[in-house]
Amino acid sequence: MFSLKDKKAIITGGGSGIGKAISVLFAKQGAEVHILELTAESAQSTVDEITAQGGKVFAHACNVAQHDEVVATFEKIGNIHVLVNNAGIAHVGKVDTTSETDFDRIMAVNVKGVYNCLFASIPQFRKSGGGAIVNLASIASWVGIPDRFAYSTAKGAVMSMTLSVAKDYINENIRCNSISPARVHTPFVDGFIAKNYPGNEAEIFDKLSKSQPIGRMGKPEEIATLALFLASDEAGFITGSDYPIDGGFIKLNN
């Protein structure tokens, strides 16, 4: 079950955290993995891990926010069977503490980056007769997370794009679903704790762990397992759905 043998998968942001875990697992399941990362260096540790386990992997330096770069990269890769829109950046702020520059930056990567990859992927899916798209949304798409205005706005858009694409391409055998994790322990989390709460890291880490009723953060490998299921043929009856993976955050808090 859950084999990706003979499938070509593109994973954006596959150099770190959730994207790295997805890339490693997909390669283990037989996929030819194509990582889109800001630089070849940022993809290197994933490439090394997959190569060491005998998997097939290619790294492409590509900023998902740049339309022409994304289209050219997808054309170079050619026909695909799986796309995971994972690349994303974080931001802390309420609407009145979010600068226009920061808002535009978050939208450029977290919304336009997903649009760019969806746009570029459709012709490549058509060559394969269809396939599966998995988008990284967030619990922020579902509930108002305090102090995350731009990030929540962007992740709401990711969930809506998922529905739109699922409807528009259902007759072309392209499935599209999203995953909504609560806090997952990745460099993304460590980075924003260090940046926004310097000197207070341990206390904030503990607080963020306890914000999931289950009492801890998720592991990147747990998100990767769900992504694998949704990308696999075993999930062939699933499209236009979002899957929270959140230690009870959405339904069990309060």
Catalytic residues: 151
Sign of CA dihedral 56, 62, 66, 70: negative
Burial of 66 (0-12, 13-18, 19+ CB in 10 A): middle
Q: How far is the CB of 53 from ligand NAD (least distance, A)?
A: 19
Q: How far is the CB of 43 from ligand NAD (least distance, A)?
A: 8
Helix (H, G, I), strand (E, B) or coil at 65: coil
E runs forming strands in the chain: 8-12, 32-37, 56-61, 82-85, 131-136, 174-181, 242-245
Q: How far is the CB of 3 from ligand NAD (least distance, A)?
A: 25
HSE, side-chain direction, 13 A CA sphere, residue 234? 11
Query: By C-beta, is 173 or 209 nearer to ligand NAD?
Result: 209
E runs forming strands in 115-241: 131-136, 174-181
Query: By C-beta, is 90 or 170 nearer to ligand NAD?
Result: 90
Query: By C-beta, is 5 or 184 nearer to ligand NAD?
Result: 184
Closest C-alpha to 17, from 253, 190, 170: 190
Query: By C-beta, is 16 or 29 nearer to ligand NAD?
Result: 16
Binding site for ligand NAD (CB under 6 A): 12-13, 15-19, 36-38, 42, 63-65, 86-89, 109, 113, 136, 138, 181, 183-184, 186-189
Query: By C-beta, is 17 or 131 nearer to ligand NAD?
Result: 17
CA-CA distance, 108 to 63, in Å (whole number)?
10
Q: How far is the CB of 177 from ligand NAD (least distance, A)?
A: 15
Query: By C-beta, is 169 or 249 nearer to ligand NAD?
Result: 249
Q: How far is the CB of 178 from ligand NAD (least distance, A)?
A: 10
Q: How far is the CB of 71 from ligand NAD (least distance, A)?
A: 14
The H or E element spanning position 108 is: helix 100-110
220-231 and 17-28 helices, crossing angle to 10°: 50
102-115 in b/e burial notation, b at 16+ Cβ within 10 A? ebeebbbbbbbbbb
